[in-house]
Amino acid sequence: MPDDVKSWLMALPLVAVLAFFLILPIIMIVIVSFWGATEFSIYPAFKLENYQYMFGSPVTYSVFLKTFIYAITTWFFTLAIGFTVAYFLAFHVRTLTWQVTLFLVCTIPFWTSNIIRMISWIPFLGRNGIANTALINMGVIDAPLDWLLFSDFAVVLAFVHLYTLFMVVPIFNTMMRIDGALIEAARDAGASGLQILLNIIIPLAKPGIMIGSIFVVTLVMGDFITVRIMSGSQSANVGRLISNDIGLLQYPSGSATAVVLLLTVLITIGIMLRFVDIRKEL
Amino acid sequence: MGEKRPTSFYVLGAFFCLFILFLYGPTITIGILSFQGPQGGLTFPMNGMSFHWFRDLFQQQAVGDIWGSFRRSLTLGLMVMITTVVFSVMGGLAFRKRFKGSTILFYLIITSLVIPSILVSLGVGLIFNQLGWDVHWATSGFGSQLTWTLPFGLLIMFAIFNRFDPSFEEAARDQGATPWQALRHVVLPIIAPSLIGVALFGFTLSYDEFARTLLTAGSYNTLPLEIFGMTTNVTTPVLYALGTLTTLFSFLIIGTFLAIALVSQRRRARIISKAGRDVA
């Protein structure tokens, strides 16, 4: 049996799952995005109305803009926090045992429920929550802040809370592979800590930074549930637009939005992938 | 050791501690608040201490079908876990050599990881609908979740095989082992401990999955769907009690997997050092 065939046979179960539950659904969404809908059902057709309506509505543009703003803001904070945490773990924690232990402490929340982790912010951010009470007691503010919960602030805070880990893991991974001799050599040659960081560590950690960025940006762009829970249904991103259409059984119009969202995400990743060869970095 | 730590260590160390507090603080808070007294609300102050809200969870009528959804999530998690491990190992083995079309398949896997979850949910829902099949957590829900867990499983397998020393396998083959024997008696035992990681991802990602299951679970909810339903209409600490219980359950699962990983690693270290002594 030729090797190529053998490899495909081994990958067959995987290919079958992806074919039926990924490729076919995408094709289906593209097809349905040209269909028509009544109040209760959808029917096959070939019309461009769904797209015309979407591109003709100003809501679409503001919602896409909002989606990008969420993505960029979250990306900035997760990168800043994630890089610092990974840097601390990789270069300041000295024994491997402690590195692994602290790394696990950072990773464990990832394996618990996102929805619960979102809900957990309610007692912190609510009108009578911990944050407001503390600020009032300290005399910083006189009246409770209303924008802490159910606001864009809460949405981004939850995103950062949920997804910083996706930065920590790949950045830590690339940092651990940096040869200590390089850093020592730089130090012997008189480089300051800042110079080592800027000229050695950041360039060598770039693949990890890119992989983390891809994760965070795509997760935020595709999200609909965090925005719904944390904004108290007051803000909308593209995901919520789609989920609203689904709720109203307007599958064709939801599908059209989904197609545009998918293209946007893929183009964004395509641009980011130009900076890194993921396969080499695993 | 003993070398004086630079100031930056303490600054970064403090930052790290704050980060950990940020990660765990909210979870701990709802853990405490779930012991609210019967009159207590969703925020502090505590209005007495009680198990009232936990008791509520065990009374069906109060909160819907929590235990049924828990059982379904558990079953589904185990199904997804086993499938993810088996399919990822096979896929990982296939990817050890470059084959025709492997690049396309690789990008397909990445697509599966980065595609907005709601698209999988919507697309699978539409397909089942057009085929006239009923969506059910064990069929459409199961498949949709695999599009999320398999990429993680495969990425872990890639990482494992990139660090895999092929000389063990070559040695086995030199001694006359068939490819299957080499796989069964050499490769699989070596990678077995790492598979615990794949299993952990498979189970927990399924157990907590929401977006891809939303339109594909059918009339019987999984636990995350049930919890999401509660967020919109339950305004008592019973929500926190449920959150605390399922988080504890997750911790239990994670702890078990980590303990198994640790034990198997120790055992292997012992075997290797014993083998070393025998040779000497």
Q: What pLDDT is stored for residue B279 in this prediction?
A: 61
Judged by CB atoms within 8 Å, which residues 88-147 of B form the interface with A? 88, 90-91, 93-95, 97, 99-102, 105-106, 108-120, 122-124, 126-127, 130, 143-144, 146-147
Which of B43, B106, B211 is the closest to A123 by Cβ?
A: B43
B181 to chain A, any CB pair closer than 8 A? The answer is: no
B36 forms bridges with which residues in the sheet? B49
CA angle A163, A168, A172 (to 5 degrees): 160
Q: How far is CA A189 from the centre of its chain?
A: 40
What number is the average pLDDT over the span A68-72? Answer: 95
A155 pLDDT band, cuts 50/70/90, is: very high
A119 to chain B, any CB pair closer than 8 A? The answer is: yes
CA atoms within 13 A on the CB side of B112: 29
Q: What pLDDT is stored for residue A129 in this prediction?
A: 83
- Kindly state the tokens that stand for B280: 């000497």
DSSP A46-110: --SHHHHHHHH-HHHHHHHHHHHHHHHHHHHHHHHHHHHHHHIIIII--SHHHHHHHHHHHHGGG
- Which of A10, A51, A58, A6 has its CA nearest to residue A259? A51
The answer on pLDDT for A121 being more than 50 is yes
* Contact state of B114 with A24 under an 8 Å Cβ cutoff: no
Full 3-state SS string of A223-268: CCHHHHHHCCCCCCCHHHHHHHHHHCCCHHHHHHHHHHHHHHHHHH
The answer on pLDDT for B3 being more than 70 is no
* Contact state of B250 with A32 under an 8 Å Cβ cutoff: no
The answer on pLDDT for A136 being more than 90 is no
Chain A interface, best mutation among B69, B106, B112, B126, by max A CB count within 10 A? B126
Q: What stretch of H or E contains B227? A: helix B223-233
Chain B interface, best mutation among A6, A78, A98, A119, by max B CB count within 10 A? A119
DSSP summary character for residue B8: H
The answer on pLDDT for A11 being more than 80 is yes
What number is the average pLDDT over the span B249-260? Answer: 89
Q: What pLDDT is stored for residue B276 in this prediction?
A: 66
Across all residues in chain A, what is the average pLDDT? 89
Comparing alpha-carbon positions, the chain A residue that sits nearest to B24 is A109
Which of A7, A128, A278 is the closest to B94 by Cβ?
A: A7
Q: What pLDDT is stored for residue B280 in this prediction?
A: 57
How many Å apart are CA B55 and CA B238, to the nearest integer? 9
- Kindly state the tokens that stand for B256: 């078990």
What number is the average pLDDT over the span A184-213? Answer: 90
B1 pLDDT band, cuts 50/70/90, is: very low
3-state secondary structure of B266: helix
A3 to chain B, any CB pair closer than 8 A? The answer is: yes
Judged by CB atoms within 8 Å, which residues 53-72 of A form the interface with B? none
Q: Where are the domains of chain B?
A: 64-233
* Contact state of A92 with B127 under an 8 Å Cβ cutoff: no
* Contact state of A29 with B126 under an 8 Å Cβ cutoff: yes
Chain B interface, best mutation among A1, A3, A7, by max B CB count within 10 A? A7
Q: What pLDDT is stored for residue A131 in this prediction?
A: 85
* Contact state of B23 with A122 under an 8 Å Cβ cutoff: no
Least Cα separation, residue A256 to chain B (angstroms): 11
B191 to chain A, any CB pair closer than 8 A? The answer is: no
* Contact state of A113 with B250 under an 8 Å Cβ cutoff: yes
What number is the average pLDDT over the span B1-23? Answer: 85
- Kindly state the tokens that stand for B152: 């993680």
Who wins on pLDDT, B267 or B140?
A: B140
A255 pLDDT band, cuts 50/70/90, is: very high
* Contact state of B118 with A258 under an 8 Å Cβ cutoff: yes
Q: What is the pTM for the complete model shown? A: 0.90
**All domains of chain A, ordered by start, with CATH?**
58-281 (1.10.3720.10)
Q: What pLDDT is stored for residue A212 in this prediction?
A: 93
Q: What pLDDT is stored for residue B62 in this prediction?
A: 56
Least Cα separation, residue B276 to chain A (angstroms): 23
How many Å apart are CA B120 and CA B211, to the nearest integer? 9
pLDDT more than 90, % of chain A:
44
pLDDT digits (tens, 9 = 90+) for B24-58: 988 888 888 888 877 777 777 777 778 878 887 77
The answer on pLDDT for B249 being more than 60 is yes
The answer on pLDDT for B63 being more than 70 is no
Q: What pLDDT is stored for residue B61 in this prediction?
A: 54
Which listed CATH number (1.10.3720.10, 3.30.420.40, 3.40.50.970, 3.40.50.1110) goes with B64-233? 1.10.3720.10
Q: What pLDDT is stored for residue A279 in this prediction?
A: 65
CA atoms within 13 A on the CB side of B95: 28
Q: What pLDDT is stored for residue B39 in this prediction?
A: 77
Q: What pLDDT is stored for residue A280 in this prediction?
A: 66
A74 pLDDT band, cuts 50/70/90, is: very high
* Contact state of B126 with A10 under an 8 Å Cβ cutoff: no
* Contact state of B15 with A126 under an 8 Å Cβ cutoff: no
Dihedral sign computed on CA atoms, order A261, A266, A269, A270: negative
List CB contacts (< 8 A) between B239 and chain A. 119
Chain B interface, best mutation among A120, A229, A230, by max B CB count within 10 A? A120
Across all residues in chain B, what is the average pLDDT? 86
